[in-house]
Amino acid sequence: MMYAKLAESDVRLIIVLLLIFLLVFVIFGYLAILVKKIMHLQGNKMEDVVHDVIVTGVILDGKSLLKYGIKKNHRLLFVQSWIPFLIMFVGCFAIFLYCLITGNWSVNVFDMEKYGVFTLFHNFDWSNIPTTNFFGLTIISDWPKVISEPHFSVDAIGSYIFCFSMLIGGIWFLIDVQAYVARLYRLIKLSKTVFNKSLKDFDPNSVPREDIKPE
């Protein structure tokens, strides 16, 4: 019986692909765990927000609780999100000021040679990706050629401030939105359950029976 032998390059390629797949799987796994923890913590935060009005009897029904909780949740989102919005505003103002000073209103903030944030990173020639034939399939065999090395450009300072401000502020705001959704989800569950009467643990034999009154 004849066995097909894989070339050494094919073996390395298979190992790299498996490692990449494993890395992506681990990253998504940790992201899912992080999202779950944030959802849980922010859900508990909503319980803290509505706790006093429930135990003191200020609110006595689910509809009123939902209305009150939504207002408090909106305010909390505003308090938490003004900082990331300020960061993004600073980035927008920085690029506006840069364009105003230089007179270059068509600046490409993603330029990789002089004016953009990609001057800080390796840039590859993605139009000429090395490929190989693997069991009849054409797949990528190596990284593309580097066409630009990381370098700091004074002309790209405006782009640096703008891009990193938008990235930091945007991620921060998305986390705040996720927290808002987690609190809203917990609020809806509380409004449907906290005022419900339950007979789950009720033992009718523990209640003293009254004498039967003849009619």
- pTM here is 0.70
C-alpha 145/C-alpha 138 separation (Å) is 18
DSSP label at 196?
-
pLDDT tens-digit readout, 113-170: 888 898 888 887 777 777 777 666 676 666 778 788 888 888 889 999 999 999 999 9
pLDDT tens-digit readout, 60-80: 888 888 899 999 999 999 999
Which phi and psi angles does 146 have, rounded to 5°? -75, 125
C-alpha 83/C-alpha 77 separation (Å) is 11
